[in-house]
Amino acid sequence: MRLAEVAVPIPLGRAFTYAVPDALAERVQPGVRVLCDFGRRRLLAVVVTVADRELAPALVGKVRPIVAVLDAEPVLDAELLPFLRELGAYYFAHIGEVLRLALPSVEREQVRALGEQGLLGTARVREVGGRMRQVARAVPAPANPGAVPRGQASAILEHLRASGDHEVTDLVASWGNARAALKRLVAAGLAEIVEREEDLDPFFANAVPRDVPPEATPEQDTAVAAITAALDAGAARGFLLHGVTGSGKTEVYLRAIAACRAASRGALVLVPEIALTPQLVSRFRARFGDDLAVIHSGLTDRERHAMWQRLRGGQVHVAIGARSALFAPVTRLGLVVVDEEHDGSFKQEEGTRYHARDMALLRAHRAGAVSVLGSATPSLETEALARAGRLGRLVLPGRAHRAAVLPRVELVDLKRIGAGPSGHKLLSLPLHRALERTLAAGEQAILFLNRRGFAPAVLCESCGAIAECPACAVALTFHRPRGGRVRCHYCDYDSSVGSCAKCGSARFSLEGLGTERLEETVAQAFPTARVARLDRDVAAGEGAEAVIARMRAGEIDVLVGTQMVTKGHDLPRVTLVGVVNADSSLALPEFRAAERTFQLLVQVAGRAGRADRPGLVIVQTRDPEHPAVAFAARHDVVGFIERELADRQELGYPPFARLALVRVEAMDEALAADTARAFADRAAATEPVVSGDIDVQGPAPAPLARLRGRYRFRVQLRGADRARLRLVLAALARLRDELHDRRVRVTLDVDPVQMM
């Protein structure tokens, strides 16, 4: 009997068996989407395997048949489907949820056809259809033309004949009665209205002239030669491309992709979402034209589907995007690049909690492709792979621009040095004077502060209570716009300041400094300077790229921002970078706090002095001797890595151990605590824990004990042996799948990045 294993989109960790009807036998194959009945529902599912085999006698007649097949050919091909199955197994994720990560939407015509045949039933299908625009055009040689109508119709016809096709909406904007006039022209056989698909992604809105590759540095040539040799060998090989900020890593990627395309293979480039900018995409389009698909979170379902079709059909061969681009259907994959591989945004924190960097290595390995992880500040996990010989090391030690050198870094000890003329302690005298010199020279400055809003806390002056979010165990941030509001940066709760929840007092003080307040302080201190801000609040309105475009055009003198200003921007007129508070991220209760702080400081310092003007970085701190700060001030990446690796090894943290978290959330605190205890007890009963190979910590409240109204508990597992850790996780995954209480949410997080 022909049977298919089918992954259905429900939270169960296995596929289900369905019979393949003879009429569908030729169309049912791994990777196609099918409709099948599951319980009382009809679901859209994916075929995982197909085989002829005998059924146990007790199951004969009980296996349901597949109802319909949606696809003429697999939407998940022979390279992508096994990769997704392995990803799901590694993260103990539900296979149906994993496959959904890579599935395109269903075309509207397919859905309509299934509905007309009565096959759709209760299935809920995410459909997509091209949004069409109406275009009017003059008929060049009408067969039997009628008389030309007068008035607006005559003017519109003359306009169409003179200047070509026009969208109907544009004609309506110029001639208010255009639709009625066009109807008369169509009736007379003089014009016609056709439907065309709307233009797609704004990344492709403007033409980009092709570029001429710049002369490569000797180090770039060496790196490209090594990657090209690996491509020519046709075997999976991985590299760490360690280059200082401004060293020309992107040029290495471009040349490696060109070599990959010359070998008739496709390429995939992953970048942090924050670094995926029109400037970056334009560099790739200038080199490869429109043989490029851009995949990002801002795409509509239709736009994402169009990108998927172009890649799957082999019309384009290079995909660039953020985390989700990992699943792009690049044909004949030959090269996978992960830029800024250290960036935490590559870890998915909802649903299937995969790490795109780690899975990029897996996908490249399975496809026999070359992988390149690039960074100025490699993660300790990637550094460990290079030291173990699992990644080749390529180094770009200097900046690509011949006149550019790494900026000079000055530390300002805020315990010893007070405020400048502005009066605010976080705009110190040395930073104030440096801003004066930069502005006098007609140059630009960036001030980095990783706290948005006006003030990070609102304090009641009567009882000392800090205003907290009613749904989260975090302080509310004060924002100045709209007359002054407090907002939660986790659940987006928004309210007027009102009165104190504890004592009812209406007397408040604003504590701390956010980007809004820093922008205002700088503007007051330097009234002739053009000051702007770039953080998530601004990006949602004016747009991040609009601010960067103004900066690049010289319309901004001082740019104040969060870490949105640290990534991927090449601003040659910036000669001063001020890190307003280097200590803020060091205080987080996470073992990676020092590593993240160091990476952030090096990355933001790299914005200064990228052209022929020397750069200066001023780092304000209360702990100038902290290794993360001291090594960053010396641009000593190797020194910091050595120090941090020694600390991690002593404490038994990654990369010298493996971590996993069981996260439990519920609206009821006692239910969350009891469920977490059940998972800790199950883990404690497993053999690897009993033998002492795996350490169990918890259950305990998460550092952020309540978010979005849910109480949060966690159990941490740690051990040096990955196989032994996975035995424990397998037992916990079975317990998770047996848990049918919808009031509680349990997730397994393998190799966690966000510990809060």
Domains of the chain in start order, with CATH, are: 2-128 (3.40.1440.60), 132-197 (1.10.10), 207-396 (3.40.50.300), 408-454+512-643 (3.40.50.300), 658-750 (3.30.70.600)
What mean pLDDT comes out for the span 340-369? 95
Q: What is the pLDDT of residue 385?
A: 96
Neighbours of 695 (CB within 10 A): 16
The per-residue pLDDT for 79 is: 92
Q: 342 falls in which pLDDT band (50, 70, 90)?
A: very high
Q: What are phi and psi of 573, to 5 degrees?
A: -90, -5
Residue 91: what are its φ and ψ, rounded to 5°?
-95, 10
326-335, 345-354, 563-572: which range is least confident on average? Answer: 563-572
Please tell me the predicted confidence (pLDDT) of residue 544.
74
Give, to the nearest 10 degrees, the angle between helix 278-288 and helix 249-262: 40
Q: Which residues contact 361 (CB under 8 A, 6 or more apart)?
A: 238, 336, 371, 373
pLDDT given for residue 143 in this prediction: 67
pLDDT at 14 over 90: no
- Please tell me the predicted confidence (pLDDT) of residue 396: 93
Q: Is the pLDDT of residue 199 over 60?
A: no
Question: Per-residue pLDDT for 400 more than 80?
Answer: no
Evaluated on CA atoms 185, 190, 196, 202, the torsion sign reads negative
pLDDT at 141: 72
pLDDT of residue 205: 65
Gap between the Cα atoms of 337 and 363, Å rounded: 11
**Quick count: other Cβ atoms within 10 Å of Cβ 637?**
20
Query: How far from each other are the two terminal CA atoms of the chain, in whole angstroms?
Result: 51
- 54 has pLDDT over 60: yes
pLDDT digits (tens, 9 = 90+) for 298-310: 777 777 888 888 8
CA–CA dist 624, 411 (Å, integer) = 7
Question: How far is residue 310's CA from residue 269's CA, in Å, rounded to a whole number?
Answer: 16
Instruction: Assess whether pLDDT exceeds 70 at residue 200.
Output: no
Let me know how long the chain is.
756
With cut-offs at 50, 70 and 90, classify the pLDDT of residue 641: very high
Least confident of 114-128, 215-229, 238-252: 114-128
Residue 480: which pLDDT band, with cuts at 50, 70 and 90?
A: confident
Side-chain half-sphere CA neighbours of 673 within 13 A? 7
Q: Against a cut of 0.75, is the pTM above it?
A: yes
Rounded alpha-carbon distances, angstroms, from residue 610 to 71, 98, 332, 403, 605: 51, 42, 37, 9, 10
- Whether residue 131 is predicted with pLDDT greater than 70 in this model: the reply is no
Residue 448 and residue 566: Cα distance in Å, rounded? 8
Q: What is the mean pLDDT of residues 357-375?
A: 96
- Other CB atoms within 10 Å distance of the CB of residue 154: 15
Mean pLDDT across the chain: 88
For residues 114-126, average pLDDT:
74
Q: Which residue has the higher pLDDT, 743 or 58?
A: 743
145: confidence class by pLDDT, cuts 50, 70, 90: confident
Where does the pLDDT of residue 281 fall: very low under 50, low under 70, confident under 90, or very high at 90 and above? Answer: confident
pLDDT of residue 452: 86
What share of the chain in percent tops pLDDT 70? 95
Question: Would you say 201 and 175 are in contact if contact means Cβ atoms under 8 Å apart?
Answer: no
Cα–Cα dist 259/370, whole Å: 12
Instruction: Kindly tell me if the per-residue pLDDT of 655 is higher than 90.
Output: yes
Looking at residues 491-498, what average pLDDT do you find?
A: 86
Q: pLDDT at residue 573 above 90?
A: no
Cα 154 to Cα 161, 162, 188, 189, distances in angstroms: 11, 12, 12, 13
Q: Please give the helix or strand (H or E) that residue 742 lies within, else none.
A: none
User: For 531-668, where are the E strands, in sequence order?
Assistant: 531-534, 558-561, 574-579, 616-621, 658-666
State what percent of residues in the chain have pLDDT above 90: 48
